[in-house]
Structure 1
Amino acid sequence: MTDHKPKNWDPRSDNVQRDQIAAYDSMRQRHSVAFSDYLQWSLFRHNDILRVLHDHETFSNAASRHLSVPNAMDPPEHTHFRRLIEPYFGTKAMATFSPICRNIAEKIVARLPRQGEVEAMSEVGQPFALEIQCAFMGWPANLHQPLREWVNRQQTATLEGDRKALGELALEFDGVIRDLLASRREAGSNAPDDVTTQIMRERVEGQALTDEQIVSILRNWTVGELGTISASIGILMHFLAEHRDIQAQLRDNPELLPAAIDEILRLDAPLITNRRVTTCPVEIGGRHINKGERLTLLWASANRDEAVFEDADTFRLDRNPDDNLLYGSGIHVCPGAPLARMELQYFMEALLANTSLINPLDIQPAVRARYPAGGYERVPLYVIRR
């Protein structure tokens, strides 16, 4: 039997959900590893999570019941698909997408009121994530609203723990992708030469990708992007509003933005967790864990670990970027990190250059998101645009 005692916490309790970041900080002070029925073994400390990330033989990424390319794969299979995917986020690809990305960021900011209230998640974060992702994938603008409605329904089903609805939503999203593939096949040589079409032409070890593999790749890119980028926008705008001195500093010194964005998202994670499964019995964080057990890696805790980050709750631009696990580490480090960083930098450049004030609304405080979402559900702000 696995050592399931004590059951140290309930990640679904109101105390945790009210402010996930504060709850994980508190847990980290008391436990390196804790067990719950919901998340199984949760890891809170930076050194334990870094160990897991760099030992893929003991801690497998194959923790999903469904095909997930390459997220839930281990070497050598992971290596083959990773080699296929990385060029889509390489220097050449980013240079090609850069002007489109910047234009979308500027258009989103231009929609802000000249002077007035804005809800950063629904009016800025979600539209930005949807428009930027569809543009990157080569998907038509008429998918923006259906995808937005799908995201909202998925969030509701996730919070309610409605497995039946989540299964139906997954099939619905896969159907959208399959329709896009079918339209490109019907167009033949006239199909747009975009990321979606290019993925359809790829081969791995000499074999053409199956539709299931293509759908999995595109689903992982899109669903993950929509959630984390919109969460990141909410976190960044909330932070600027709450820290007027840093808002002014970044307005005057936009060259600081790359480090500042990573630091803000270290403080307040847009992505809360990731999963692994043990391939053999192991000791970690003073706990014995059997083979085949599920681990939950809490990025939102590891990136605030006082053992690694001095004054962990303080915004600092002089930290070692290698310590920041915002995009992971090891062989499974996020391949889309260059795209995400470019999107967020262009958004922040446009936001700071085209506003003179971003303030919180005291009468409507921000509302924290509930697990598994990170960041905020609502971020009411007051803005003045130049």
Structure 2
Amino acid sequence: MDKKSLPDWDPRSEAVLKDQTTAYDDMRHRCPVAHSQYGYTSLFRHADVLRVLNDHETFSNAVSRFPAVPNGMDPPEHTAYRNLIERYFSPEHMDAFAPTCRDIAVRLVQALPDEGRAELIGEFAQIFALQIQCAWLGWPADFHEPLRLWTLKNHSATLSRDEAALSAVALEFDGYIKDLLDVRRTAGAAASHDITTLLLRDQSLGRPLTDDEIVSILRNWTVGELGTISASVGILAHYLATNFGWQQRLREQPALLPVAIDEILRIHAPLIMNRRVTTKEVTLGGRTLAKGSRIALNWASANRDEAVFGDPDELRLDRDPELNLLYGAGIHVCPGAPLARLELRIVMEELLGRTSRITLAPDKEPVNAFFPAGGFSSLHLQIQKPPSQPLGAGLPLEIR
């Protein structure tokens, strides 16, 4: 093989998967624009990633062979769909959903042991993500388990790059959603007033959305929400379990949680990368990429770039929020960010407000999640709760 065609790195090597954060930090310093045998050129520096995010004409989002409304589209097609879905994440929708979100968080925190061990990912974070997503979209409780199993199959198919499996899981999800739409059509005016029903009746494009459009929107919301919310809860709990000073400060001053959550998730990313494809020849980091080159934007590295953040492991509440790429940037910045921030703030308010101390279990090491996921696949914690819960425990307190 010609030396020039050899890959710069293997994103699925044992060394990378064992400690993704350290591996990406190394790539950012050693080879910030790197080719792999999987056909992607990975970008590790904040400046390069931000350049791509802000130049949607050169770096297209139309990378999937499946319809992806609207994140797999470019303007002008993207613009109308983006305007349509942004309304579902308005302050009014967030305010209306907040009580339901808090009820779910309270119930799950109360189910944790008063004093003892909990495996936080499977026993709490994944359940929270499933229940909160179904509640947000108005899906029935008996959909929780099928959706959980579907998520596992989707992750496995994505990791294996098995095209037949990817097609099968896509069709399975289509069937679930179309059944939910049929229930609402049959109910007519008596259909439940939820996000799924609102999408079915949406006329923002001057016509109803097709079933395929609704399925694509809901698939994108679901895939993005379930994995990143459960990963984020695990990352936040792990960070606070290993940094008791911050744990106690945020327990006493929960008004600081929104900024602290974004900063902790900058340090340890819940989502590793996203994709683009070049629409013309372009030079990045001194390397020339041909038209049609596939690019992987490595959020986990870009958000730890010393050129932007100094010490990437230092938690600071005074950073410029515009520099944090947790939810992306440019025209494709995550539309669901208001919902994710609401859910994470509330669940951490309740977890901190209804416990007195959270630590790592001494005899169980955390197990890192497997690429392309971030966070942990297993996280054993020791939970301590106060002897009695005062009325209103878990609700935001005043800053002291």
Query: Could you state the TM-score of these two structures normalised by the residue count of structure 2?
Result: 0.94
Whole-angstrom CA distance in 1 between matches of 2:242 and 2:268: 13
Could you say if the C-alpha distance between residues 161 and 146 of structure 1 is closer, same or farther in structure 2, counting changes exceeding 3 Å?
same
Alignment of 1:330-369 (within 5 A): 330-369=330-369
Whole-angstrom CA distance in 2 between matches of 1:62 and 1:37: 21
Whole-angstrom CA distance in 2 between matches of 1:379 and 1:86: 34
Partner SS state of residue 248, structure 1? helix
Unaligned runs of 5+ in 1: none
Shift of 1:336: 0.4
Residue deviations 1:165-197, cap 9 Å, x none? 332122111111110011111111111121001
Aligned length, in residue pairs: 384
Partner SS state of residue 203, structure 1? coil
Alignment of 1:1-386 (within 5 A): 5-38=5-38, 40-386=40-386
1:373 corresponds to which letter in structure 2? A
Partner SS state of residue 345, structure 2? helix
| Contact 1:71–1:332 under 8 Å retained in 2 | yes
1:100 corresponds to which letter in structure 2? T
Could you say if the C-alpha distance between residues 91 and 165 of structure 1 is closer, same or farther in structure 2, counting changes exceeding 3 Å?
same
1:163 corresponds to which letter in structure 2? E
Unaligned runs of 5+ in 2: 387-400
Whole-angstrom CA distance in 2 between matches of 1:290 and 1:344: 40
Q: Which moved more, 1:139-148 or 1:68-77?
A: 139-148
| Contact 1:101–1:343 under 8 Å retained in 2 | yes
Q: Which moved more, 1:311-320 or 1:159-168?
A: 159-168
Shift of 1:264: 0.5
Residue deviations 1:232-254, cap 9 Å, x none? 01111111111111111111111
Whole-angstrom CA distance in 2 between matches of 1:380 and 1:43: 33
Residue deviations 1:285-311, cap 9 Å, x none? 111000011100000000000000011
Whole-angstrom CA distance in 2 between matches of 1:170 and 1:122: 24
Q: Which moved more, 1:208-217 or 1:300-309?
A: 208-217
Whole-angstrom CA distance in 2 between matches of 1:324 and 1:300: 11
Could you say if the C-alpha distance between residues 167 and 259 of structure 1 is closer, same or farther in structure 2, counting changes exceeding 3 Å?
same
Could you say if the C-alpha distance between residues 208 and 359 of structure 1 is closer, same or farther in structure 2, counting changes exceeding 3 Å?
same
2:231 corresponds to which letter in structure 1? A
Shift of 1:146: 1.6
| Contact 1:306–1:312 under 8 Å retained in 2 | yes
Whole-angstrom CA distance in 2 between matches of 1:277 and 1:364: 42
Shift of 1:204: 4.7
Whole-angstrom CA distance in 2 between matches of 1:318 and 1:126: 31
Residue deviations 1:115-163, cap 9 Å, x none? 1111111011100000100000001111112211222233334444443
Shift of 1:6: 4.6
Partner SS state of residue 230, structure 1? helix
Whole-angstrom CA distance in 1 between matches of 2:139 and 2:148: 14
Whole-angstrom CA distance in 2 between matches of 1:204 and 1:285: 41
2:129 corresponds to which letter in structure 1? A
Residue deviations 1:89-109, cap 9 Å, x none? 011111111111111111111
Whole-angstrom CA distance in 2 between matches of 1:7 and 1:152: 30
Could you say if the C-alpha distance between residues 4 and 99 of structure 1 is closer, same or farther in structure 2, counting changes exceeding 3 Å?
farther
Q: Which moved more, 1:277-286 or 1:311-320?
A: 311-320
Partner SS state of residue 78, structure 2? helix
Partner SS state of residue 358, structure 2? strand
2:48 corresponds to which letter in structure 1? D
Whole-angstrom CA distance in 1 between matches of 2:11 and 2:92: 42
1:332 corresponds to which letter in structure 2? H
Whole-angstrom CA distance in 1 between matches of 2:111 and 2:331: 39
Whole-angstrom CA distance in 1 between matches of 2:5 and 2:84: 43
Query: Could you state the TM-score of these two structures normalised by the residue count of structure 1?
Result: 0.97
2:29 corresponds to which letter in structure 1? Q
Residue deviations 1:311-336, cap 9 Å, x none? 11211112111100000001100000
Quote the sequence identity (%).
Answer: 58
Partner SS state of residue 309, structure 2? coil
Q: Which residue of 1 aligns with 2:394?
A: none
Shift of 1:39: 5.1
| Contact 1:40–1:294 under 8 Å retained in 2 | yes
